[in-house]
C-alpha cells in the first residue's frame, strides 16, 4: 500500500518562501527591462551634438595652468591671474611652483562659456598671458616657457637687472656678495648660465597685469 508523504509545517514554509523569492526575482527582471527601454528612448531623443560632461564640483570646474620655468630652474615662486568674461576674476600665487614644468591648479571656478584669459609671472620672469576655454570638468591652458632675467621683478629686463647680477657674478650661496635675485636657474651659483638666461631677453618687457 502506497503512502503519500505528509508535508510538515517547516517544509511548507520553505516551499512558500522559495515561491515568493522566485516571484520577486521575476518582477525585478521585468522592472530592469523597463528601465533599459526608457533609457534607450531618452538617448534617442537627445539632440545631436550634445556633450555629456563629466561630473563637476556642483556648478564649478577646474583650470590647470601648465608653466615651463626658464633656464631649467627646478622651482620658482609664481603669481597668476585668471580673467573671465562672466564671473569672478582670480589672482593668486604658488610658493614655490615645482618645475622645470609645473602645473598650477585653480579650482573651483564657476562654470561659464567662452574664453578665459590667463597670465603668469615668476619671481624673475616676464609676465606672459594666454587664452583658453572653460567648457569641461578639467580645463588646461599651456603657457609655454617663460622668459627669465628679471632680477628686480619690475616685468622688464634692462640695465637695472644687469646691475644686480654683475656684483654677484661668480658668487655662491653664503658668499658676502651673493644675491639670490640673480640666481635665475636656482643652482646656488651666479655664473655664465644666469647671464645666458638673461641675455636673449635683454630690453624686453612682459605683458601688463590684467587687473
Rounded Cα distance between 23 and 97, Å, is 62
Residue 50 lies in a domain: no
**What's the CATH number where 101 sits?**
2.60.40
Q: How many domains does the chain have?
A: 2
How many C-beta atoms lie closer than 10 Å to residue 99's C-beta?
20
Q: Residues 185, 189, 194, 195: what is their CA dihedral angle, to the nearest 10 degrees?
A: 180
Write the pLDDT tens digit of every residue in 24-66.
Answer: 555 655 554 554 444 444 433 333 322 323 334 456 788 999 9
> What pLDDT is recorded for position 54?
39
Residue 110 grid cell: 564657476
CA count, 13 A, side-chain hemisphere, 209: 12
Residue 133 grid cell: 576655454
- Indicate whether 66 and 126 sit together in one domain: yes
Q: How confident is the model at residue 5 (pLDDT cuts 50, 70, 90)?
A: very low
Write the pLDDT tens digit of every residue in 78-100.
Answer: 999 999 866 678 999 999 999 99
Domain limits for position 163: 159-201
Mean pLDDT of the chain: 81
Amino acid at each position: 500500500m502506497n503512502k503519500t508523504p505528509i508535508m510538515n509545517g517547516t517544509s511548507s514554509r520553505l516551499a512558500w518562501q522559495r515561491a515568493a523569492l522566485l516571484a520577486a526575482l521575476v518582477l525585478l527582471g521585468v522592472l530592469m527591462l523597463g528601465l533599459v527601454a526608457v533609457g534607450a528612448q531618452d538617448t534617442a531623443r537627445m539632440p545631436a551634438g550634445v556633450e555629456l560632461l563629466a561630473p563637476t564640483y556642483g556648478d564649478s570646474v577646474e583650470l590647470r595652468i601648465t608653466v615651463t620655468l626658464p633656464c631649467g630652474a627646478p622651482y620658482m615662486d609664481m603669481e597668476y591671474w585668471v580673467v573671465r568674461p562672466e564671473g569672478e576674476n582670480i589672482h593668486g600665487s604658488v610658493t614655490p611652483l615645482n618645475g622645470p614644468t609645473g602645473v598650477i591648479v585653480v579650482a573651483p571656478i564657476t562654470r561659464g562659456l567662452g574664453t578665459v584669459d590667463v597670465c603668469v609671472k615668476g619671481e624673475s620672469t616676464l609676465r606672459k598671458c594666454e587664452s583658453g576655454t572653460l567648457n569641461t570638468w578639467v580645463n588646461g591652458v599651456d603657457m609655454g616657457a617663460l622668459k627669465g632675467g628679471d632680477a628686480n621683478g619690475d616685468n622688464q629686463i634692462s640695465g637695472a637687472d644687469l646691475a644686480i647680477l654683475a656684483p654677484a657674478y661668480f658668487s655662491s650661496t653664503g658668499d658676502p656678495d651673493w644675491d639670490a635675485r640673480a640666481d635665475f636657474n636656482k643652482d646656488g651659483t651666479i655664473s655664465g648660465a644666469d647671464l645666458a638666461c638673461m641675455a636673449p631677453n635683454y630690453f624686453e618687457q612682459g605683458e601688463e597685469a590684467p587687473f
